[in-house]
Amino acid sequence: MTSRTTPPATPSGAPAPTRRRPVRRLTSRGRDEAHRVASPLELFFDLCFVVAVAQAGVQLVHSVAGSHAGEGILDYAMVFFAIWWAWMNFTWFASAYDNDDVLYRVVTLVQIAGVLVLAAGVSRAFEDHEFLAVWLGYAIMRVAMSSQWLRVALSTEGAERTAALRYAGGVLICQVGWLGLLILPEGGRTWLFLAMAVVEMCVPLYAEKDRPTSWHPHHIAERYGLFTIIVLGETIAAATVAVKSGIDENDALGELLPIAVGGLLIVFAAWWIYFVVPIHGHLRTSGQAFLWGYGHYFVFASAAAIGAGLEVAVEQAIGEAHLSTTAASAAVTLPTALFLATVWVLHARHFKVGTAQQSVLPVTALLVICCTFLGEWAVLTAGLVAALAVATGTTLTARTPAREARTAGKDADAREGAGAGKDAESSESREAPESREG
């Protein structure tokens, strides 16, 4: 008789595949789960979110090139926060609760639809300060996220259920607060954004104060790394299109070649520096994870801004941007320096040994800022400085094991010498009575 736990056999004798229900309980996954990787749905999610990132970058270019840098940067920070926060909330939730049933997939696709609505409203948010479409897209994403947490609350009990209800309620309350973007005058929107951003970031801290969610360290590190790659790829794509248009329309290869080479070196160095350390080993406690996860707002925003800055530098070089060479150079060097400094603060410093290794990225960030004042060679020089930082860091890291090996060898020789000395002393002590007797 067939056991209840054993799938019925097929005619060939092999077990029949277990049927999975389309809607299942949404319970936590194990933090020590082996071979945990990003799912195809998560990769699709990231690609769709980068559409909104690209739109924010395009509008940042228009603002900076039109001599409205301060206003453009503020709008960029606000729009990018909405994109990043919705992405980050889904990422950590999926790491803990992704059961891949039909309802989970449908709700995730709804969130993707929300970010596309948000992306459609980015231009009006920058140009007319009209945030209706941005608010609506964000509301779609956040209500969908809240429904996922309610599913968790229905599937669990105890402290886990309490955390899920806190998440669901906090997300909805914050969404009501963001209505102020549609009601308040322009002068009050900045203060509302700052206040609501703080409140949003306090929701996870409050929800998980009694029981942290069971996110997977390796999976989280991979998800953040993949999004970094996609954003850097968007940076290269935007800069390439700008350089191509400049060459085709203005025949300005000589003016644009230093920008193209320098920009490519910056992006290559950014990739190398970000992925040089195995950060998942550092994500072991919720305290570390919150700081690391929140800090990536600056990593992602600066990486995307590098592409926008390269576009500004191209437009300035061909005479289409109404700003100085120094200002155009700063559009590249400042986000590059911010990227380098933030990556060092978040995880590179935890894997560096000695003053020399710890100083590479901070010093490089300062040197990149200094490159701002080198005129038309600023971007190329900044790229060379970033490449030199990679070479220096690689060399210092390679020397550390050799130095440790030599030190270990010297210690072993010292211990061996000490052991030989002790053997000689014991031998002398054994011979001493015989000499006295003689």
| CA quadruple 264, 265, 270, 271: dihedral sign | positive
| CA quadruple 33, 297, 88, 269: dihedral sign | negative
- State if pTM tops 0.75: yes
Q: Under a CB-based contact definition with an 8 Å cutoff, are residues 167 and 203 in contact?
A: yes
**Measured distance CA(192)–CA(185) in Å, rounded:** 11
Buried b (16+ CB within 10 A) or exposed e, 22-41: eeeebebbebeeeebebbeb
**Measured distance CA(339)–CA(199) in Å, rounded:** 25
**Angle 388-391-395 (CA atoms, 0-180°, nearest 5)?**
140
Per-position DSSP letters for 52-63, written without gaps between them: HHHHHHHHHHHH
Q: Under a CB-based contact definition with an 8 Å cutoff, are residues 149 and 165 in contact?
A: yes
Per-residue pLDDT of the chain (438 residues; tens, 9 = 90+): 433 344 444 444 444 444 577 878 888 888 888 888 899 999 999 999 999 999 999 999 999 988 888 889 999 999 999 999 999 999 999 999 998 889 999 999 999 999 999 999 999 999 888 899 999 999 999 999 999 999 999 999 999 999 999 999 999 999 999 999 898 888 888 899 999 999 999 999 999 998 888 888 889 989 999 999 999 999 999 888 888 888 887 777 888 899 999 999 999 999 999 988 777 667 766 567 888 899 999 999 999 999 999 999 999 988 888 889 999 999 999 999 999 999 999 887 777 778 888 888 999 999 999 999 998 899 999 999 999 999 998 888 877 654 544 544 444 444 555 554 545 445 444 444 444 333
HSE-up (13 A, CA, CB side) for residue 11: 0
pLDDT at 432: 45
Closest CA to 351 of 280, 267, 270: 280
Closest CA to 324 of 364, 378, 369: 378
Q: Under a CB-based contact definition with an 8 Å cutoff, are residues 354 and 97 in contact?
A: no
**Measured distance CA(30)–CA(281) in Å, rounded:** 17
Burial of 17 (0-12, 13-18, 19+ CB in 10 A): exposed
**Measured distance CA(361)–CA(364) in Å, rounded:** 5
Measured in whole angstroms, the distance separating CA 79 from the mean position of its chain's CA atoms is 17
The DSSP bridge partners found for residue 15 are 9
**Angle 242-243-245 (CA atoms, 0-180°, nearest 5)?**
65
Q: Which domains, and CATH codes, for the chain?
A: 36-214 (no CATH), 216-415 (1.20.1410)
**Measured distance CA(108)–CA(304) in Å, rounded:** 24
**Measured distance CA(108)–CA(104) in Å, rounded:** 6
Main-chain phi, psi angles of 197, to 5 degrees? -65, -40
pLDDT at 435: 40
Reduced DSSP (H G I as helix, E B as strand, rest coil) percent helix, strand, coil of the chain, to 5: 80, 0, 20
**Measured distance CA(374)–CA(364) in Å, rounded:** 16
* Dihedral class, residue 20 (left if φ above 0, else alpha if ψ from -120 to 50, else beta): beta
Burial of 435 (0-12, 13-18, 19+ CB in 10 A): exposed
